[in-house]
Amino acid sequence: MRARAHHHLHRSRGFSLAELLVATAIVSVLAGIGVPTFQHLSTQSRLTGTANELLVALATARAEAVSLRVPTTLALDSDAATGAVSAWSLGERDWLAARDVRVYSARSEVGFATDGTATPAEFIICFRDRPHHRLVRVSLIGRAEVDPRGEGPCPVGGSDV
């Protein structure tokens, strides 16, 4: 009886090589599924964050034009090398595009009149060269919104908008 008890204790002290290989394979498969999903969520989050920051800047410019009864302009600063908008500014306030995010527009500024109307504009917000993007539109009445159909290839330069 003593030999059997001793044998039982010795046998339950660790994992076999087969068990470790199976566990490693399971962890590898789960990591292979999880990493691309996380990268996709991270990309979508950056696109949405930049679109929201642009919407805030546009709404602020419009609100100032209406409340102060002074025409305002949201100026767009473009990168000469890529043609992408790297920042936008309203008076002393500046907004920067997130790292690896490119914003394209055919306009160098968006103006708002004292009644809230605006220069119509479109902004395509891309993450590197990935196919998905956000499309922000400013209408003639000054309303800025993200177009839910804003999917597709990103332009190479601002002239494609």
On whether the CB atoms of residues 90 and 111 are closer than 8 A, the answer is: no
134 or 139: which leads in pLDDT? 139
Q: Which two tokens stand for residue 158?
A: 């601002």
Residue at token pair 């002290």: 13
20: pLDDT strictly greater than 80 = yes
- Confidence band for 106, pLDDT divided at 50, 70 and 90: confident
Say whether 76 sits in a helix, a strand or coil.
strand
pLDDT at 19 over 60: yes
98 in helix, strand or coil? Answer: coil
Helices and strands, counts by H and E, the chain: 2, 8
- On the question of pLDDT at 161 being above 60, the answer is no
Q: Predicted confidence band at 159 (pLDDT cuts at 50, 70, 90)?
A: very low
For the whole model, what pTM was predicted? 0.72
Each residue's pLDDT tens digit, 39-90: 778 888 888 888 898 999 999 999 999 999 999 999 888 776 666 777 888 8
